[in-house]
Structure 1
Amino acid sequence: MNQINSEIITKEIFIEARPETLFSFFTDADKMVRWMGRQILLEPKIGGKYRIDVNGSDIAMGEYVEIVPFEKIVMTWGWEKSKLVPPGSSKVEFQLTPMENGTQLVLTHYDLPAEEIPSHNQGWSHYMPRIKDFAEGKDPGVDPWSVVAMH
């Protein structure tokens, strides 16, 4: 077994959209699929499950553990077929802070094994600009990762 370590990933991005707008991007499957993956099932309530099919082979799964409307969403995170990061084994927090002209979105991913940090870091670096574009009214287009298996 891998020891859980204190490695975390933090990503921050300023988005010219209100927290109320952004919040729905994590609770509404029709909006989430515009910036991530190709098929999404969400049950946005405490203990509710989610399933994000990124590309037909990599499938993220977990559940909502904390929901503070328009402020914060915390979900457990893992991958359907992964031994290193099985569903629910790590945690992702999305913090929405209202700013003048928009929102500061801070993503924090906790409890990842050290060897999984680079790939998850790359993943969130890929998705953060996509959520920004979508929230600001630009079309991020089809997720290029939704057509290629990553692992």
Structure 2
Amino acid sequence: MEFGTIEREVFVEASPEVVFEVVSSPDHLKEWWPDDARYEATPGSRGEIVFGDRDAGGTVVAFSVVDVVPPRTFSFRWTHPDGEVAAEGNSLLVTFDLTPSGGGTLLKMTETGFREMGWEVAVLEQQYQDHFTGWDFYLPRLTAYVATLKVRP
């Protein structure tokens, strides 16, 4: 296995504008992915996402917004050391590309940068597998969450 790139495509029954908000807004993001999210959806914004309870051993992960092109693309870097500027080699890059399709949106998620992190092979394999199975768990939650939104025509 290559351990280089993770790609997923899912069809979401909502417009690209709605899906863009769900993948870029911290308030929406924490409904389907992390337990908490704090950042501005503007390029260069730095913040964090939290898995679990921040005050009870939860995992706080640095998060930096890279690209914001409504309603087509949202990308961010994450997993970089707190206090460091996210860049290739110290973080993973996640990109959500949105394409209108029929009555909804084709969402393509790509995560790259695993090999560039400089991890030992065992760590690389473990991190890649964790993210691989993580996206398989979280992306269906995104589509289920969008289905609960009251969207006006």
* Interval of TM-score (by shorter of Structure 1 and Structure 2): 0.7 to 0.9
Deviation larger for 12-21 or 56-65:
56-65
Q: Which structure ranks higher in relative contact order (CA pairs < 8 Å, sequence separation ≥ 6)?
A: 1
Deviation at 1:61, TM superposition (A): 1.8
Structure 1 residues 36-47: aligned runs within 5 Å: 36-47=33-44
Name the stretch that deviates more: 110-119 or 68-77: 110-119
Alignment of 1:1-151 (within 5 A): 7-56=4-53, 57-78=58-79, 89-113=91-115, 114-115=124-125, 116-137=127-148
Greater helix content: 2
Is the CA contact 1:6–1:110 (under 8 Å) kept in the aligned structure 2?
A: no
Aligned amino acid, residue 130 of structure 1: R
Cα shift at 1:6: 7.0
Q: Distance in 1 between matches of 2:40 and 2:90?
A: 15
2:103 corresponds to which letter in structure 1?
N
Cα distance between partner residues in 1 of 2:78 and 2:97: 16
- Secondary structure in structure 2 of the residue aligned to 1:46: coil
TM-score, length-scaled by structure 2 = 0.76
SS in 1 for 2:139: helix
Pair 100,16 (structure 1): closer, same or farther in 2 beyond 3 Å: same
| 2:139 alignment partner AA | M
- The structure having more radius of gyration, on CA atoms, is 2
Q: Kindly indicate whether the alpha-carbon contact (under 8 Å) linking 1:59 and 1:80 is maintained by their aligned counterparts in 2.
A: no
Q: Do the aligned partners of 1:76 and 1:88 also contact (CA within 8 Å) in 2?
A: no
Instruction: Give the length in aligned residue pairs.
Output: 130
Runs of 4+ aligned structure 1 residues displaced above 6 Å come to none
- Give me the identity figure in percent: 26
Identify the range of structure 1 (105-114 vs 15-24) with the bigger mean alpha-carbon deviation.
105-114
Q: Give 5+ residue unaligned stretches, structure 1.
A: 139-151
Contact 2:91 2:113 survives alignment (8 Å): yes
Unaligned runs of 5+ in 2: 116-123
